[in-house]
Amino acid sequence: MEKSSIKTILAGRGALPKKRFGQNFLCDRNITEKMVKAANLEPKDVVLEIGPGTGILTKEIAKKAKKVIAVELDRRMVAVLRDTVRLENVKIVETDILKFDEKSLPPAYKVVANLPFYLSAPAIRKFLESENQPQSLTLILQKEVAQRIAAKPGKMSILAVSVQFYSHPLIVCSIPRSCFWPVPSVDSAILKITPNKNKPEKNFSALFFKIVKAGFSQPRKQLVNNFSKNLFGPGNRRREEIELWLKQSGIGPAQRAETLAVDQWISLAKTYSLIV
């Protein structure tokens, strides 16, 4: 669908893009094909699409999948979709994706989405922490966000650690900003997230993130200092114990949080009982 066609369709229905919804509509069929290919869709699949917009991606998904549940918050866009996407295997749901009950979906469903910036982290967290995790999430994100999520030790952040704790993220390709209308100020990327087969227990997850948050509390400071101050209380009375605890996981006390791999954070959580 060309930009001029999208403009005509939306203008005719009084549904021009709204900044508060982060609406930048995909208008390049090459990208929709890459999204469908990356999602590895099969005839038996149930797909949850977040923010279908004008339906350009919805239609391509529907060609490959058994059923598409397209969740759209903007009432104006729901009206557009009901006019432009009239397919038996597509169900349009008007709601906020963060309020959508994913437990109503069958196991091994797949998520496909062109996510606005404000929704990226909370939507990913919602599905990775869900009792009914998707088989995969194939997402269009701002390129910088995708790179942060898929970062390696040396450039890790809480976002990267959080996503990689539950899954394996992979950047499929970059998308130039010219593939959207209105044209955004930054480029995007396709990121595929594949959840790990074994989901961590809730108690372990809570402890893991307690340690991670303490480690990143002051990202430019050494881990031994952050843990001493934010994990075990004020003061450095237990500094030697903390240093030994870090070394047992192959971590230098002077390292910063951004340098640790997810496996090292997991090791710290597993050995935490030795120091409390």
Total tally of structural domains belonging to the chain: 2
Both 95 and 186 in a single domain? yes
CB neighbour list of residue 45: distance below 8 Å, 6 or more residues apart: 64, 65, 66, 67, 109, 110
Both 59 and 184 in a single domain? yes
The mean per-residue pLDDT over the stretch 114-137 comes to 96
Structure tokens at 61: 């998904």
Both 112 and 17 in a single domain? yes
Residue 114, helix vs strand vs coil:
strand
The mean per-residue pLDDT over the stretch 137-147 comes to 98
Fill in the amino acid letter for 229. Answer: K
Both 105 and 44 in a single domain? yes
The mean per-residue pLDDT over the stretch 45-59 comes to 95
Both 13 and 143 in a single domain? yes
Specify the length of the chain in residues: 276
At residue 224, φ and ψ (nearest 5 deg) are -60, -35
167, burial (CB in 10 Å: exposed 0-12, middle 13-18, buried 19+): buried
Both 261 and 159 in a single domain? no
Which pLDDT band holds residue 21 (cuts at 50, 70, 90)? Answer: confident
Residue ranges making up the domain that contains 230: 202-274
> Quick one: pLDDT at residue 20?
74
pLDDT tens for each residue of 96-115: 999 999 999 999 999 999 99
Both 142 and 241 in a single domain? no
* pLDDT surpassing 70 at residue 137: yes
* pLDDT surpassing 70 at residue 236: no
More confident residue, 15 or 204: 204
Mean pLDDT of the residues in the chain: 93
More confident residue, 237 or 215: 215
Which pLDDT band holds residue 15 (cuts at 50, 70, 90)? Answer: confident
Which pLDDT band holds residue 235 (cuts at 50, 70, 90)? Answer: low
